[in-house]
């Protein structure tokens, strides 16, 4: 099995679950929940009637949450998906198993979970995860240098830059990169006015097209596998374990990320106003913010990891979300079901009455309920309910063909 040599296991490495990773995943999912509530699960409203003082608070909170977490929470969640793949591959290798085909089957199972999720929420990411995750199978035999090289190329959004270069030489070419918009409009109107059956029915088609066209056009088709590969690389290098060398790695990662994020912020914020070509503007507004969000994510992740290790085994507020992160699939899907029932017409229909402040309070309430349930459940079971189903189905034994 020479082609999978990069996954040889350190005999001295820890075998226990890395709680810092579960905590990171928990905070990433918390941020995703808050963002989804601010967006009313893709029903966008700006004519909510409320006092001016509350509007001022709304603007401040909305700007703060988007600045800190928009694009960064998703990136963290995606990176840790690649890390989890490495852990699963490593553990299977210890048992003498080849996990690659099992992982391919596991991604097909994830398609099933994605369809359940997409029935309710037209912003599903699991389908994209399932297909991008297949890249990890051949990547498991790549060297670390190859993994990082491919990840960097993908992270730089080569398709977007190709479009920009083409538009430079062909100014008459027009591409607004907004094919998703026609489906988004239909899906949003259904959420505003449809009953439950109409919402579910519309999400089967328009919701799926909206979600997946948007993710492709927003650059996630390149960003997501890049993050998966980086997560796998971090796992190979055992960079989430607490060692002096790893602490130094995260310090340097933070410093380099700050140095990159500052100019990227100005490029993201001030250059678009000077781009008149619609095609160039459309794709520039994808490529630069994507790279900026990655740099900012590295800052947040580095601060989190360094804070965890500086306190020995994490601060209390960090450890408080470990259970939430361990049940990320269950919590990700159920928070969407709860959220659409709160904001959509078939439920409480709060999309046009809950401002940013109220939406964040609702999001915090959803998180709190799920966190309490996660702690209760994991106090009695080893995994969350959907995690258990996913694992059991992953390792299902298929009957062998009888021979005569």
Digit-coded pLDDT (tens) for 203-262: 999 999 999 999 999 999 999 999 999 999 999 999 999 999 999 999 999 999 999 999
Q: How high does pLDDT run on average in the chain? A: 92
Q: What are phi and psi of 270, to 5 degrees?
A: -110, -25
**Sign of the dihedral through C-alpha 285, 287, 291, 297:** positive
Q: What are phi and psi of 253, to 5 degrees?
A: -60, -40
- Joined together, the tokens standing for residue 95 give 């048992």
In the prediction, which pLDDT does 16 show?
53
- Joined together, the tokens standing for residue 218 give 């927003």
In the prediction, which pLDDT does 400 show?
56
What average pLDDT does the segment 329-340 reach?
A: 97
Report pLDDT digits (tens) over 117-130: 999 999 999 999 99
Percentage above 70 pLDDT, the chain: 94
- Joined together, the tokens standing for residue 74 give 């998703």
The Cα 253–Cα 223 span in angstroms is 19
Given pLDDT bands bounded at 50, 70 and 90, which one contains residue 199?
Answer: very high
**Residue indicated by tokens 């996660």:** 374
Give, in order, the Cα–Cα distances in Å from 294 to each of 279, 289, 315, 401.
23, 9, 25, 48
Given pLDDT bands bounded at 50, 70 and 90, which one contains residue 47?
Answer: confident
In the prediction, which pLDDT does 398 show?
61
Report pLDDT digits (tens) over 365-386: 999 999 999 999 999 999 999 9
pTM of the model: 0.92
Least confident piece of the model among 6-15, 143-152, 160-169, 267-276: 6-15
10 Å Cβ neighbour count for 227? 27
Give, in order, the Cα–Cα distances in Å from 264 to each of 36, 297, 330.
25, 13, 35
Residue 95 has pLDDT above 70, yes or no: yes
In the prediction, which pLDDT does 168 show?
95
């Amino acid at each position: 099995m020479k082609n999978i040599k990069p996954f040889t296991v350190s005999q001295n490495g820890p075998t226990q679950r890395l709680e810092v990773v579960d905590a990171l995943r928990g905070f990433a999912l918390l941020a995703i929940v808050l963002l989804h509530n601010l967006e009313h699960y893709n029903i966008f409203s700006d004519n909510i009637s409320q006092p001016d003082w509350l509007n001022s608070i709304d603007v401040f909170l909305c700007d703060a949450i988007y600045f800190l977490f928009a694009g960064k929470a998703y990136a963290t969640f995606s990176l840790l998906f690649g890390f989890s793949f490495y852990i699963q591959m490593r553990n299977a290798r210890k048992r003498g198993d080849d996990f690659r085909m099992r992982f391919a089957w596991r991604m097909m199972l994830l398609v099933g979970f994605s369809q359940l999720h997409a029935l309710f929420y037209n912003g599903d990411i699991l389908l994209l995860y399932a297909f991008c995750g297949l890249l990890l199978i051949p990547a498991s035999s790549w060297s670390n240098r190859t993994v990082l090289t491919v990840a960097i190329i993908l992270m730089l959004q080569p398709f977007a830059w190709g479009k920009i270069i083409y538009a430079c030489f062909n100014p008459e070419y027009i591409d607004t990169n907004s094919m998703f918009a026609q489906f988004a409009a239909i899906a949003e109107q259904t959420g505003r006015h449809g009953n439950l059956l109409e919402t579910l029915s519309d999400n089967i088609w328009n919701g799926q097209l909206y979600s997946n066209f948007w993710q492709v056009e927003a650059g996630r088709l390149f960003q997501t596998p890049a993050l998966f590969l980086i997560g796998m690389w971090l796992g190979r290098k055992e960079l989430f374990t607490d060692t002096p060398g790893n602490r130094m790695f995260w310090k340097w990662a933070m410093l380099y990320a700050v140095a990159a994020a500052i100019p990227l912020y100005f490029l993201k914020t001030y250059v678009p106003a000077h781009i008149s070509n619609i095609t160039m503007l459309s794709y520039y507004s994808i490529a630069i913010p994507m790279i900026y969000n990655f740099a900012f994510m590295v800052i947040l992740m580095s601060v989190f990891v360094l804070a965890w290790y500086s306190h020995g085994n994490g601060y209390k507020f960090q450890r408080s979300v470990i259970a939430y992160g361990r049940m990320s699939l269950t919590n990700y899907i159920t928070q969407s079901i709860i959220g659409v029932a709160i904001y959509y017409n078939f439920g409480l229909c709060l999309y046009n009455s809950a401002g940013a402040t109220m939406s964040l309070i609702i999001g915090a309430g959803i998180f709190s309920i799920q966190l309490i349930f996660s702690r209760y459940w994991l106090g009695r079971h080893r995994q969350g309910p959907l995690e258990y189903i996913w694992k059991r189905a992953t390792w299902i034994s298929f009957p062998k063909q009888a021979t005569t």
